[in-house]
Structure 1
Amino acid sequence: MTLWSVLILAVPVADWYLPPDIHLAHLLVIPLALAATFADTRRTAVTALLALAALVVAGAERHTLTTENVLVQMLSLVLFSALLLIATRLREQHQRHLARVRQVSEAAQSVLLRPLPRRAGAVSLASTYVAAETEARIGGDLYALVHAPGPTRLIIGDARGKGLGAIGDIETVLGAFRFNAHRHSTLSGLASALESDVRWDLGQSHRGDPDEWPGERFVTAAVLEIPDDQLCARLISFGHLPPLLLHGGHVTPLEVSTPAPPLGLGTLTETEYAPLTFRFAPGDRLVLYTDGVTEARDSMGGFYPLAERVTAWADQRPDALVHRIGADLRAHTGGPLDDDMALIVLQREEARVRARISENRWVS
């Protein structure tokens, strides 16, 4: 029995014991309003019938059922119930529409930002993504992975701005990365093609928006390549935050001496995409992240100490490390994040020796 049903039944019972000049019939609108707010149309209709029956019983108890006052109360209750039923029906229709829109939106977002696999080539990995926008699954951060012939290639990035307004730029970068990741034999070739495609697409979008200045739209990104048959990894940074290399319990930020400009700004400077190559042996881990992690603040305004936490949890597998950082980040902020956040942890597994891949399998 619902709360509003109990309230309705309490009215005729209370009327039986109250003095003749005290009536509680006007309180029947309270359970009706509760039902219309929290229940569906059918339950609201049942509640309205119960309220009307309670009013009839209360009038019969006092022998006032046919008086003008009670008849007016009954008519008012019927009209009020009808209005509430209409409002409830409209609310249900609106909720169904929102549910369909949300379902379509989630499907589209899932296609755009696909979940990363737990294993790709020579690495195992775990990831998490939190959008700052309520009800959104993606915001202004991005990541994608392609296991090309030979290496595993991965991108993580942060579009200018945050939330749903950056989704168009995210779609541009992810589409360009997925298209080019398996078509170039070198990471430098991939980086050059990625910048060219993103710059062209953003330029086309700019032509349709005369109020937008060139250079206002860009994406910082880090592109990583991990060969299956070599104990190394290669990194090209488009102005993105340095990944953290965890080796032997020590954390080293992978600072690129000459990072490329953010994607979309490649025409501003003469750019040579020379990757940073570093040793990545079995058991080593890489932590890639966006500024939603490191710039998350606590109540005193302090930034989240990611490198310190990674060092403290150096023995954790990727999935456990991602889980611990995510929980600790929420505890650090004490509430929802103000910015979108993406976090990826990769671990190099035992090397699998493969025959050298023929150059004719690449399309340059």
Structure 2
Amino acid sequence: MSHAPDHGRDHWPRRLVAVTPVLPILIVSALVLFDLIGGSGMTWVPLLATCPALAATTCGPRCVVLVGLLAVALSVVLGVRGGAPGTELAIALAALTVVTLACGLTSVLRGRRERVLAAVRSVAEAAQHALLQPIPATVGPFRVAVRYSAAAAEARIGGDLYALVSTPYGVRLIVGDVRGKGLPAVGTAALVLGVFREAAHDEPDLLAVVARIERSLARNLGSDDFVTAVVAGYPGEGQLEVVNCGHAPPLLVRDSVVVPVDPDRPAPPLGLRTLSGETPTLQVLPFADGDQLLLYTDGVTEARNHAREFYPLAEGLARHTSDEPTRTVTALHDELLAHVGGRLHDDAALLLLHKPKAAGAPVPRSPSTTARMDCCSPQIG
């Protein structure tokens, strides 16, 4: 109960600053000071019209009208004090009145647009939570951290996708990137995630999950559309299964050493299998206590700085690796933004999977990989 009054006292000064037309008041004060010093009469009066115009950029219509009335009153004082002709003073007051009314209307329209934008943002946030469902910090034996940034800041969502679910067949996850941008890319991402979440619970074989997604995309995508993705699963045997469909290789961290998990045989992106005739492979990685796996989209590795240099993700991960996935991912994201100068030009997603080290755990094996060919027929799933 005692925190509510404190909360109000902490924030009312900031609210007062937000609605106070500081710049117009400073301009008015400067003009009055110049007139008092120089006695210039009507010389500075036209500049008072800037006061309601500036107030309209940040304040509501009531505040704009008050600033306009203040400017009109000061115009009368300055004109009378300087002995200005009545006609000249009347013209100046009429101009100030018209400018004030126009700025008040502008403020009303700006307020309406801001309310519409706020409503659109709330819808975008709801869509983001429905599409990219929040991932808990702990899933099964793993600690997880996710960071996602859409290139269109107002949209909040884009063509990158991720999901992590706990199933009867262990923890399964996907990170992918839809070709293209805008609403079509968002629709494709929603399709992929919906099929993945359903198939991950139904299919005991990870390659069958990928096959389900492939068939769904083949029915719904155009000939030029596709999705790159990495689908991974942890069946609970100290091993991690990885299927890479034309996506950037995940980064395996073991004993502070970063190793890219390159596919043994390149596979086409999802949606293009019928054109290439190639099928993905299933890689099996030893994944012991203390190991980490970073999955990401090309918006991270293809981010360029002013010198047109790509962001070195593997080096950044080696610098920032810690036992706290959230700290690692946050540090990577902050460094990425600093690399590009504060604004990303493509959607970017980071998902870090960490298996905490247990007391007395054996020394993990080297990060070698083995592969199993796709044994699934097209009819599976």
* TM-score, normalising length: structure 1: 0.84
What residue number does 1:107 align with?
126
What residue number does 2:227 align with?
219
1:161 and 2:177 matched: no
Q: CA shift at 1:314, angstroms?
A: 4.4
Q: CA shift at 1:281, angstroms?
A: 1.0
Alpha-carbon contact 1:5-1:50 (below 8 Å) kept: no
CA distance in 1, matches of 2:145, 2:43: 65
Alpha-carbon contact 1:8-1:31 (below 8 Å) kept: yes
1:242 and 2:249 matched: yes
**CA pair 8-304 structure 1, distance change in 2 beyond 3 A:** closer
Alpha-carbon contact 2:41-2:84 (below 8 Å) kept: no
1:167 alignment partner AA: V
CA distance in 2, matches of 1:220, 1:298: 24
Q: Secondary structure at the match of 1:327?
A: helix
What residue number does 2:67 align with?
47
Deviations 1:254-290 (A, max 9, x none): 2222343211112124455542112111111111111
What residue number does 1:28 align with?
48
Q: CA shift at 1:107, angstroms?
A: 1.7
1:139 and 2:158 matched: yes
1:89 and 2:89 matched: no
Alpha-carbon contact 1:12-1:55 (below 8 Å) kept: no
Q: Alignment partner for residue 3 of structure 1, among 23, 40, 60?
A: 23
What residue number does 2:287 align with?
280
Superposed counterparts of 1:302-341, under 5 Å = 302-341=309-348
2:225 alignment partner AA: R
CA distance in 2, matches of 1:75, 1:249: 73
Q: Secondary structure at the match of 2:269?
A: coil
CA distance in 2, matches of 1:62, 1:243: 76
What residue number does 1:38 align with?
58
2:49 alignment partner AA: V
Q: CA shift at 1:226, angstroms?
A: 0.9
Deviations 1:6-34 (A, max 9, x none): 43355556545545765422221121221
What residue number does 1:289 align with?
296
Q: CA shift at 1:337, angstroms?
A: 2.4
CA distance in 1, matches of 2:240, 2:217: 24
1:235 alignment partner AA: V
Q: Alignment partner for residue 176 of structure 1, among 195, 200, 211?
A: 195
CA distance in 2, matches of 1:114, 1:126: 13
Q: Secondary structure at the match of 2:177?
A: strand
1:109 alignment partner AA: Q
Q: CA shift at 1:234, angstroms?
A: 0.6
What residue number does 2:14 align with?
none
1:223 alignment partner AA: V
CA distance in 1, matches of 2:39, 2:351: 71
Deviations 1:127-162 (A, max 9, x none): 111222232322221111111124011000111134
RMSD (CA atoms): 2.6
1:306 alignment partner AA: L
What residue number does 1:75 align with?
94
1:171 alignment partner AA: A
* TM-score, normalising length: structure 2: 0.81
**CA pair 45-172 structure 1, distance change in 2 beyond 3 A:** same
CA distance in 1, matches of 2:41, 2:300: 66
Superposed counterparts of 1:188-199, under 5 Å = 188-199=207-218
1:56 and 2:76 matched: yes
CA distance in 1, matches of 2:92, 2:320: 69
With 170-179 and 249-258 compared, the bigger mean Cα shift is at: 249-258
2:67 alignment partner AA: T
What residue number does 2:265 align with?
258
Alpha-carbon contact 2:42-2:82 (below 8 Å) kept: no
Alpha-carbon contact 1:41-1:85 (below 8 Å) kept: yes
CA distance in 1, matches of 2:42, 2:279: 88
Alpha-carbon contact 1:293-1:341 (below 8 Å) kept: yes
Of all paired residues, the percent bearing the same amino acid is: 39
CA distance in 2, matches of 1:292, 1:14: 54
Alpha-carbon contact 2:52-2:65 (below 8 Å) kept: no
Alpha-carbon contact 1:141-1:340 (below 8 Å) kept: yes
Deviations 1:184-220 (A, max 9, x none): 1111221111111122122xxx4xxxxxxx1x10001
What residue number does 1:211 align with?
none
CA distance in 1, matches of 2:259, 2:52: 64
**CA pair 15-322 structure 1, distance change in 2 beyond 3 A:** closer
